[in-house]
């Protein structure tokens, strides 16, 4: 399986319309809607308004789609929560952005470390542009180099030209990442940079302990990136994935 992120030709993609906030409000494929609903249901996130007390307090939740890639079964969604403790208080509005989808049969949700609203040209962007922007923020890779990375779930191999200055060679050629869910095996050299990032020079294989992702194998010089996540607030019940 090729786990690299593919570039798309935006000229051949169907046009979508967005509201004033950038959410897509038309031309969403039915398969994307079904995937989105399935993931959201499993996360236990319910839209609607509920009263909190007799003093005018309420909580309102809603969801919107900001991007999708139908061929890769990925969707970028916004969870929005409006909270008012009681009438006369200021409303607290919170927005979270998730990359969700189906990765080799496993449904997952990944809270983005950045708001989609920071994306330049959002109103003119294709749904696939938004997915790629989200992935670039998760793995810390410029958009122009995104297609070169090799993914296994939340772990990615990022090709680099050389090992950073100041890195220390580590004799441990088998180690775990992602909270122990991914085993990395190296036939070559393993380095750790001053900021704690793992670098590999040689042959590397990554195996998912639960076997929910196929093993990936590559040869070269790589930075190993663990996908950055936002901080999950207490009003989101659960997340899916590794």
pLDDT (tens digit per residue) in 45-94: 777 777 777 767 888 888 899 999 999 999 999 999 998 877 778 788 99
The 10s digit of each residue's pLDDT in 113-164 is 999 999 999 999 999 999 999 999 999 999 999 999 998 888 999 999 999 9
Domain definitions of the chain by residue range = 11-141, 155-226
Cα 51 off chain centre by:
32
**Over the chain, what is the mean pLDDT?**
87
Q: Residue 169, exposed/middle/buried by CB under 10 A (0-12, 13-18, 19+)?
A: exposed
Radius of gyration (C-alpha) of the chain in whole angstroms: 20
pLDDT at 12: 47
Q: Quote the pLDDT of residue 95.
A: 93
pLDDT tens per residue across span 172-182: 999 999 888 89
Torsion over CA: 18, 24, 26, 29 (sign)? positive
Query: The whole model's pTM is what?
Result: 0.84
């Amino acid at each position: 399986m090729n786990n690299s992120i593919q570039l798309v030709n935006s000229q051949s993609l169907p046009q979508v319309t967005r509201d004033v906030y950038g959410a897509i409000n038309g031309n969403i494929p039915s398969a994307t809607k079904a995937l989105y609903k399935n993931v959201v249901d499993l996360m236990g996130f319910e839209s609607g308004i509920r009263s909190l007390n007799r003093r005018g307090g309420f909580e309102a939740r809603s969801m919107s789609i900001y991007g999708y890639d139908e061929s890769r079964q990925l969707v970028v969604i916004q969870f929005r929560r409006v909270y008012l403790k009681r009438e006369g208080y200021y409303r607290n509005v919170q927005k979270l952005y998730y990359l969700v989808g189906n990765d080799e049969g496993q449904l997952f949700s990944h809270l983005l470390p950045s708001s989609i609203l920071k994306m330049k040209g959002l109103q003119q962007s294709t749904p696939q542009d938004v997915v790629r922007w989200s992935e670039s923020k998760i793995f810390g890779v410029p958009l122009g180099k995104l297609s070169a990375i090799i993914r296994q779930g939340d772990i990615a191999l990022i090709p680099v030209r050389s090992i950073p200055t100041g890195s220390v060679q580590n004799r441990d050629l088998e180690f775990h990442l992602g909270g122990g869910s991914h085993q990395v095996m190296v036939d070559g050299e393993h380095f750790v940079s001053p900021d704690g990032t793992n670098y590999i020079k040689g042959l590397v294989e990554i195996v998912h302990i639960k076997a929910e992702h196929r093993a990936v194998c590559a040869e070269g010089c790589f930075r190993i990136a663990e996908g950055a996540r936002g901080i999950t607030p207490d009003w989101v019940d659960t997340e899916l994935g590794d």
